[in-house]
Structures are given as C-alpha cells and as structure tokens.
Structure 1
C-alpha cells in the first residue's frame, strides 16, 4: 500500500497543533492548583481572610484555565480514531488502558472537586473545603500521571508484546507499563515544570500589582509563596530533567545523539557541546565543547561511551534485517500457523517494527534491496539541529529560573519585595518564559522520537488513517482557528480578571491591617507573610 507522505505530514501537524495548544493550559493548571492549596492551608491555620481572598482570586484564574484545558483536551482523544486509526488498532489495547484510567479515576476526581471548590465555600467547613482544594491539586497530578504513563509507553514500550494471531500489541505486564522508567521520569519532570509555571504566573501578576501600587497586601503574600514554591520547583525541574535525560540515554539513544549533534561515538569521557555551527552536510563544522561533561550528563560515568548517530544507524540496519526475518515468519504464521515460524517469530518480533520502516519504499518488504534497507536505517535519525537548539533553549531557561527565584526568595526573606521597581517590571515580563521552556520540552520529547509513533514498534507514517489531503486541510484549519479563538478568549478573561483584581465580599474591611501568622514558626519568610 503506497504511503501518502502529505497525508502523514498533515496528520502530524494537526495532532501537534492541538497537543501544543492544549499544553498551554495544562502546566498552569498543575501549578495553580498547588498554589491555591498552599494559600488556603495558611488561611485555615491562621483564620485570616486575606488568604481566603488570595485563594479565591488565584482560584478564579485557575478555573478559567481549567475550563480551556478541558475544551482543548477532549478533541485530542478523538484524533486517535480519526487521524491515527491504524495506531489505535495496533496498540490501542495498551495505550487505551492508562487513558481510560485517567478519565475514570483522575479527571472525574479533579472535575468533581473543582465544582466543590467554587461552590462549597459556604456549604463546607474550613477543613472540609481545604481537603477539597488539595484533592483538586492531587486530581490534576493523577491526570498528568496516567497521561504520561501512556506517553511514556510510546517512548519505551515495555510490558507488552505483539500477538501474531490478533495482529496487535497486547499488555503482558501492566505493572511494568505503570512503572516504566521513562514514564516516571517524564511525570516528575513535567509536573515540576507545571509547578514552576504556576509560580512564575503568580509572581509576575503580583509584581504587576506591586509595581502599580495595587492590592499590595495580597500581592506581597502571594509573591512570598510564589518565590518559595518557585525556587523548589526550579531546582526540581533541573534535577529531574537530568534524570529524564539519563533515562533517555538508556532507552532512546538516537534521540540523545541527535540532541547532542553527536554524529560519531565519543570516547569516554564524552564532552558536552555548548554551541555548534552545522555545515552543508548537516555535521558540525565548529563546536564549543566542555570536556567530560557530556559523559557525566548522559551516562553518569567517565568510562562509558556516548553512542553516535552513524553507529546507531548501522545498528538500525541490523535490526531491519532481523525484522525482515520476523516479518517473513509472521507471513508464514498467518498463512498456515507454522509452529517453526512461531518459534522464529518469538525470537525476532522485537525488531518487527524496524522492518515496517521499509513500507515507506515498497509494499513487499521481504524483497527490499540493500539500498532501501540503508535508506530506512537512515530514516531513524530525527532532524538534528531543531532538537539541538531547542534543548539548549529549554536548559538555559531552566538555569535562569533557578537564579530568578533564588533572587526573589532572598529578597522576600529580607523583606525587600517592593524596594526595586525595575526588578518588579522585569519579573512581569518573564511571564511567557515558562511556556517557551515547556513547549520546547514537549517538542523535544515528541519530535525527537521520530520516525516512530511508538519507539521501535510502529513507524509514524504507517500509523495514520487513510484520509484525503482535503479532509486534513479543512480539519487542520478548523482546529487552528478554533484553538486560536479559545486562546484569545482565555487571555481576554485572564486580563479582565487581573484588571478587576481580587474580590471577596466576606473580607473584613480592617482584616489586612493587623495580619499576623501566629500558627507558623517564626522565620524570615513567615515574618514576611505576616508583615
């Protein structure tokens, strides 16, 4: 069956557009949910209504973002059946399980308690409402967990095997799917990035209020919480990002080699390339490298080599040839259930996906030429330089946030929150940076996996539905216009809410004048909270 590359590209563009639009809302939901829970905890401990006011204000912004996240996320699941029908057939038994659990266990939990959060203030006790708020935060994280378990399986397909009788991947060990090291590393890294996003959001809006001299008491308290939470989150993002990179080195060697623009295997200890200039053939003509650091980052060793792209392509060539043996055995099994062919297939089926790479060039892959095999092996290399530069943008922003929140934490502990107007405005303009870093990370994870939709199992081009170019152009245009409109609506609502400022009809007029935190230990930070 011929593969229409334009149909595949348009299908990828459509899913990428909807996913990256959706991921504008997810990190802020994760971050604000915990910020709300922290602020309401202080309210319950102290009884001071300023913290209730803060919880309601940031909760309103959370609610707007949450609604948009739901609206943009639902469509993505329908695309698996509409745009990626063969993917759904081939791996749906595995991929569908964590998504179903996410909907039943996490999303319903989160959505139910979001309603109680907004409408339960006068119907629940303080402790009861606080529990609801924490369950909103926990539900958001559970939702992220199951989605990333599903995505992690696409990056490292453990706990499943191909059944030649059903022609589908099937789960053999669900515990292995849940505790997939790639999924767990992605989860902790992603949610930490979400926490950082929420902290930057709260800090930037609070800085705007302070710079304009509005809502000062609430802004100061929100900023202290954001500075503390943000510093912990920024440190976690970098540390857990290192763990995610190490796991990728174990399970996605080609992605790591592309990120490092490492075309040849580096002898141990491998250097780390800070900057590079690509030549006409794609290989670097100039590099600025730090000795040994590459080995420490990627392999955590000074004695292990960092595999290069050319050597990994040679291994892919070998796996394609092994996959052809599996493919031929599968054909014999389907023809007459040959027992000997089954034994051969059991030994070689993990390489079956590599044989499917040849479907781009011919339907009868068993007759592939050496040149076609070599071309299919070369196809396992993702586009190097977009990955190289995007990773360095993401990493640079990660270290920037550590310094940024470190300065704010120090200033907050010293009571210097309002003393530097220029730094307040600088903080306001950092607002877009978390999304740049987060979208960069998502791009690296998904674009770096190409040409696979499931690493080593199913090529992306082979997973698409048989839609027409017109179908995809119309649907892609519709979704881009719709999602852009939703984003504009969300930004408009956010701006209007921020301009209106925090409101709480239950806040006593003199409540902010005599605020103290009697329930917390006396530290510089808590003294600032109560000042």
Structure 2
C-alpha cells in the first residue's frame, strides 16, 4: 500500500474526528445542565428557570445540529477510506455503530424535537420527562460509539474465522462490557460535562461583566460551578482508571506517554517534564516525581513498569510468531489447506497482526533478517514527543478546571458573587477566557488515545496500513481538502450563531400591566 495513501487517510479521519469532537462535548454536557435547570423550574415554578432552559437550550440546539451533521461523514469514511478494516471487523464493529445510529437519529432526535416544540403542547412535567430523555439519549449515543472505539483499543469477545477472513463476535457481552470501553465512556462523558460547565460559567461571567441578565447569570454560575466542580473531580479520578487500564492492555501507549525508555523498578516515578530524543532513544532531560506513576498505573508499590525498549523486545517475539501465522494463512488461502497447516495457524493466530508489521520490509516473512525484525518492532513505538506533551496539556487543564470551578462554587455558596463583580472582576475575566480550554483538553485526550495506539487500527490485530482502501493519493487528497473546507465553514457558522445569540441574550419577561418587555439593566462602566 502506498504510504502516502495511508498517511493521508489517517490525516483525513483525524481531521474529521477532531472537528466532530468540537461539537460533541458541549452537547453531552449541556443536555444534562438543561435537565437540571428544568427540574428546578418544575419544582419551584419560578419563570426565571424556564427562561434559563430556553436560552441555554437555543445554544444547545445550534451545537447539536452541527454535531450530528459532522458525525455522519465519519461513519461513511469506514466504507470509503477503510474498506478492508470494515470488511475485516464489520461483524463486531457494525453492531454498536448501528445501535449508536439508532440512539442518535431516532431516540435522541425525537426527544430533541419534543424539547424545542413541546413547551406549549405538553405539561411542565411531561416536558421535563422529554428533556431528561433527550439528555440520556445523548449520553447513551456516546456510549455505543465508545464501545466500538474501546474494542479497537482492546479487542475482546471476538475470534478470527480463517474461512471468512473476518473477525466474528464470540461474546457480545464481552464487547459491551469491555473494561477499556467503559473507562473511555465515563471519562469522555465527564470531560463533556466539564466543557459545558465552563461554557455556561464563562458566558454567564461575561454577562456579569457587562451588567446584563444578572439574575440569569448568577443562577447559571451556581449550577455550572457545582456541576463543573463535581465533573472535573470525576474526570481526574476516571482518568486514573484509564491509566490503569492502559497499563493492563496498552503498555506501549502508557510507556510513550511517560517517555519511559527503560523499565522502571517499583514504584515507578512520574516524569513531570522531559525532552525525549527519538534518535538516541532516551531523554536528554527529565524531572521525576517518585512513586506517582507506580501508584497510577499499577496501584501498588511493588510492581515494575515495562519501558519502551523492553516492550520492543517483546514485540520482536510476537513478530516472529506473527510471520508464521500470516505465511501459513496465505498458504491455506492459496489451496494448501491441511489439518497440519490449520493447527500451525491456530498456534500463532494470537500474533497474526504482528506479521503485518514485516510486510514493508520483506515479502518472505518467515525469512526476515534480525535487522528487518528490529525495524518492524520499533514501528510499534509512536513518536514520543507529541504524546508526552499532549498528555501533560490535558492533565494541566484538568487540574485548572478543578481550581476554577471550586473557586466559583465557593463564591456562589458564600453569596460573594456580587462582591466579585464589583471588586474582583479579574476572576470573571479568567472564567471568560477559560471557555476554549476544555476543547483543547478534549482534543489532546483524543490525540493521545488514537495516535498512541499506532501502528494499530485494531490493537495487536490489524495495522493501520493494512486497513485502508485501494485509493490514489489524488482521490484522498481531494476529499481531505473538501472535508477541511466544509467543516471549517460549519465551524465558522456555529461560532457566529453562538455569538449572535449570546449577545442577544435570553428573552426578557413581559410586564403584566402592558405586555411590554422589561428594560435591560443599565450597563456598568466600560471595561
């Protein structure tokens, strides 16, 4: 396969996925915040909470539409750019993807319609039920796509059928309750909650700076701070669970994230800062914190952690075994189908994917030289530098979110928010300028998750290069340019629409005597 086609296909999927995930976190989190706000409205009957739900619901709707539209093309790409992957794992991957489609386009979309058009057609309690159903549908939609993605990270509950040349489901229960998928789901959803909380917090802080819609802004900050503080704490805890699962199922990813070239004796230390050198295969500089990585990755003080070099050595043995499996498979498919051949294949089938790593270096896999095997084994190591720092950007953002939401949670609980507006306005400015940071953290998280499992499209089973379609560089380049142009236009449209309705603000209540709307509060002095 032309390496240009492989790299461009990877880039295209990465670009569409990263664009798509600009919309997803806000949808996940805002749906829950809307349900919480409407619950307060139904319980208290106060109209301010209904106006809050309608205002934030408008912003939710803008984001939801673009999230769905950008997600559609991602599913089509599996057939367009990754046809062999789709054929190879369609029996396993197709089921959760189909359920996700049903959740997103039937259940979720139905209740989104009821949310927007049911205010005057349903009772308050009936509308509340629809809002909670919309929120749950949105989150369960994410569950199924993350089950599919989690299976790619840790393929369980499936076996390779030599006659059909496909992975086939052996236990759907194992596919659904895959520990990697479950950890990814709760971590991803919690990150979406933080994104929405900081969005609501930042927009409300902007209103307070402008002296507009203060009643709505104070209540929104109270909800966002409490919700965001709890979510930010959960993101850190659930991120720890993801690290533990990575050490169990994706040791190379974790070693690269930590720039851990050598095997660390127990308890392993954590590199706060490092300067990885891919050529020398060592760190030219590093600052360590003792014990921390051992506690995170092994949850013990007596287990060592395998470094990159040791994991490469382990890969060499699997490559030798995989070469036998792949050569035997080709002989069987070529007509030399005997019980002895099948028995030999079954002895090495667990390493079949590693045989693909040798294909760029030799046509006679079982006669590969040590130099070829060594080169193939080092291809299991992603570039350390971007992995190391992307992970630390994500972690730094996470701890900042805890601090920021904790401060505003205290201010709202202590009734000091108005004093902040008058005397410590810099805190409100910090909240406003922090709005983009959750998106940055989310994108860094997905980069670590997906780039960190290269060269695998299915961990240990199928290489990314083996999964692409038979396309030309020109074809992929044209579609890549088209997607980037289209998605950029959609992103600009969303940002403009969000800014338009944020500037416009919520509808003001009507004065009962005249039916006129109440005047806006006089704006505070210009900043």
TM-score category (smaller protein): over 0.9
Between the aligned partners of 1:355 and 1:42, the Cα distance in structure 2 is 59
Which stretch of structure 1 is more off in the superposition, 12-21 or 341-350? 341-350
TM-score (norm 1): 0.94
Query: CA contact under 8 A between 1:327 and 1:352: conserved in structure 2?
Result: yes
Shift in Å, 1:366: 3.3
| Aligned residue number for residue 440 of structure 2 | 436
Query: CA contact under 8 A between 1:295 and 1:302: conserved in structure 2?
Result: yes
Shift in Å, 1:282: 4.4
Query: CA contact under 8 A between 1:332 and 1:338: conserved in structure 2?
Result: no
| Aligned residue number for residue 470 of structure 2 | 466
| Aligned residue number for residue 490 of structure 1 | 494
Q: Is 2:99 the partner of 1:95?
A: no
Partner SS for 2:299: coil
| Aligned residue number for residue 326 of structure 2 | 327
Shift in Å, 1:293: 1.0
Query: CA contact under 8 A between 1:148 and 1:183: conserved in structure 2?
Result: yes
Between the aligned partners of 1:81 and 1:40, the Cα distance in structure 2 is 41
Shift in Å, 1:294: 1.2
Which stretch of structure 1 is more off in the superposition, 226-235 or 338-347? 338-347
| Aligned residue number for residue 150 of structure 1 | 148
Q: Is 2:411 the partner of 1:399?
A: no
Stretches of structure 2 that go unaligned for 5 or more consecutive residues are: 519-527
Matched residues, number: 510
Find 1:119's aligned residue among 114, 117, 132.
Answer: 117
Partner SS for 1:418: helix
Between the aligned partners of 2:39 and 2:104, the Cα distance in structure 1 is 22
Query: CA contact under 8 A between 1:237 and 1:398: conserved in structure 2?
Result: yes
Stretches of structure 1 that go unaligned for 5 or more consecutive residues are: 514-531
Between the aligned partners of 2:131 and 2:301, the Cα distance in structure 1 is 47
Between the aligned partners of 1:304 and 1:25, the Cα distance in structure 2 is 40
Query: CA contact under 8 A between 2:353 and 2:460: conserved in structure 1?
Result: yes
Q: Is 2:377 the partner of 1:373?
A: no
Between the aligned partners of 2:382 and 2:453, the Cα distance in structure 1 is 7
Shift in Å, 1:358: 1.3
Deviations along 1:244-265, one digit per CA (max 9) or x if unpaired, are: 1110110000000000000110
Partner SS for 2:273: strand
Query: CA contact under 8 A between 1:267 and 1:306: conserved in structure 2?
Result: yes
| Aligned residue number for residue 19 of structure 1 | 17
| Aligned residue number for residue 342 of structure 2 | 342
Q: Is 2:290 the partner of 1:291?
A: yes
Query: CA contact under 8 A between 2:269 and 2:289: conserved in structure 1?
Result: yes
Which stretch of structure 1 is more off in the superposition, 479-488 or 362-371? 362-371
TM-score (norm 2): 0.94
Mapping for residues 127-146 of structure 1, pairs under 5 Å: 127-146=125-144
Query: CA contact under 8 A between 2:275 and 2:385: conserved in structure 1?
Result: no
| Aligned residue number for residue 445 of structure 1 | 449
Mapping for residues 56-95 of structure 1, pairs under 5 Å: 56-95=54-93
| Aligned residue number for residue 171 of structure 2 | 173
Deviations along 1:131-185, one digit per CA (max 9) or x if unpaired, are: 0000111001111000000000000000111110001111111100000000000
Shift in Å, 1:199: 0.3
| C-alpha RMSD of matched pairs (Å) | 1.6
Which stretch of structure 1 is more off in the superposition, 282-291 or 247-256? 282-291
Query: CA contact under 8 A between 1:360 and 1:461: conserved in structure 2?
Result: no
Between the aligned partners of 2:474 and 2:450, the Cα distance in structure 1 is 25
| Aligned residue number for residue 413 of structure 2 | 413
Shift in Å, 1:298: 1.0
Q: Summarize the Cα distance change of 1:338–1:405 in structure 2 as closer, same or farther, 3 Å threshold.
A: same
Deviations along 1:252-284, one digit per CA (max 9) or x if unpaired, are: 000000000001101111111111123462421
Between the aligned partners of 1:105 and 1:338, the Cα distance in structure 2 is 46
| Aligned residue number for residue 183 of structure 1 | 181
Shift in Å, 1:418: 2.6
Between the aligned partners of 1:40 and 1:363, the Cα distance in structure 2 is 64
Query: CA contact under 8 A between 1:398 and 1:437: conserved in structure 2?
Result: yes
Between the aligned partners of 1:9 and 1:28, the Cα distance in structure 2 is 30
Q: Is 2:230 the partner of 1:226?
A: no
Shift in Å, 1:329: 2.9
Between the aligned partners of 2:511 and 2:360, the Cα distance in structure 1 is 66
Between the aligned partners of 1:57 and 1:210, the Cα distance in structure 2 is 16
Query: CA contact under 8 A between 2:324 and 2:365: conserved in structure 1?
Result: no
Partner SS for 2:359: helix
Q: Is 2:430 the partner of 1:426?
A: yes
Partner SS for 1:474: helix
Between the aligned partners of 2:271 and 2:360, the Cα distance in structure 1 is 34
Between the aligned partners of 1:422 and 1:374, the Cα distance in structure 2 is 56
Q: Summarize the Cα distance change of 1:484–1:507 in structure 2 as closer, same or farther, 3 Å threshold.
A: farther
Between the aligned partners of 1:149 and 1:345, the Cα distance in structure 2 is 29
